[in-house]
Amino acid sequence: MKKIFNIVVVLSTLLIIACSSNLQKPITPASEILVNSDTFWNYYYNHVNLSDDFVGYDENNKLLNRKEFFSKIALGYYLPISLETQDSIKHYKLYEITTAVDSELRDNIKNALKQDVKFFNMEGKTIPKFDFIDLNAKIYNLKTTKNQLVVLKFWFIGCGACIKEMPALNKLVAKYSNKPNVKFLSLATDTEKQLYDFFEKTIFSYATASVSDDYVVNELEIEAFPTHMLVKNGKILRVVSTEKQLEDVLLRQVKP
């Protein structure tokens, strides 16, 4: 019996090692990512989405849950390396950033990941004052959106990146148009008059409500624009920065 047990342990260990080794090939090697800030941002934008579901490993290939993974990132000296996998779930291995890396590049990495950690820490919290009236006088609150997934976009007219992503967001709204329990609402810090004037020249398929700077910056503590947030029954599910990340996360929340 003991012999059989030992065989099982050995086989299990070999299986774990084999699986681990299959996950170790990076999509982009750390040496290519850490050349300069441009190579990092190109990699980060195209291959990193920590707001989506993923499998995480530390620098020693130890499996980490999502909370443990973000706790390590919050220390400020780890880079998530995206690994090649056979499934649709992202796999990341933490790579320790040494002092040999240029200080400006290290700061860029830390700042980017600091935002990811901040967004992760918002998950599960109650969004304050969930009570909005859009430009067509439609009310969005806990009662009118009960059991619905509300996709929020925080922006302002002077934000170039916010405007640039609107055509892609329009396609996303059309993609989920057959899902009545998915609502798209943008919250802009401009006045209603400014928004009416803006929409005379620009097509945006989201419903839009005017909100105060104080609400966005001080109460929600959102400082980067655009920011996207998924909310259901007043609870924050996920927070992301880009349209591409939003599309990935939304696809796992609701099948189009």
Q: What is the pLDDT of residues 33-56, one digit of tens each?
A: 999 999 999 999 899 999 888 999
CA–CA gap between residue 12 and residue 197 (Å, rounded):
65
Residue 156 pLDDT class (50, 70, 90 cuts): very high
Higher pLDDT, 164 or 253: 164
Residue 50 to residue 56: CA distance in whole angstroms: 10
CATH number listed for the domain at residues 131-253: 3.40.30.10
Interatomic CA distance for residues 218 and 5, integer angstroms: 58
Q: What is the mean pLDDT of the chain?
A: 90
- The more confident residue out of 252 and 171 is 171
Tell me the pTM.
0.84
Contact between 156 and 148 under an 8 Å Cβ cutoff? The reply is: no
Q: CA of 185: how far to CAs of 23, 51, 178, 219, in Å?
A: 39, 20, 16, 18
Residue 146 has pLDDT above 80, yes or no: yes
List b or e across 72-96, with b for residues whose CB sees 16 or more CB atoms inside 10 angstroms.
bbbeebbbbbbbeeeeeebbbbbbe
Q: Where along the chain do its domains lie? A: 2-122, 131-253
What is the per-residue pLDDT for 74?
95
**If 0-12 CB within 10 Å is exposed, 13-18 middle and 19+ buried, where does residue 156 land?**
middle
What is the per-residue pLDDT across 185-196, written as a single tens digit (0 to 9) for each?
Answer: 999 999 999 999
Mean pLDDT of all residues in 91-98:
95
Q: What is the pLDDT of residues 20-37, one digit of tens each?
A: 445 569 999 999 999 999
Are 156 and 188 in contact by the 8 Å Cβ rule? The answer is: yes
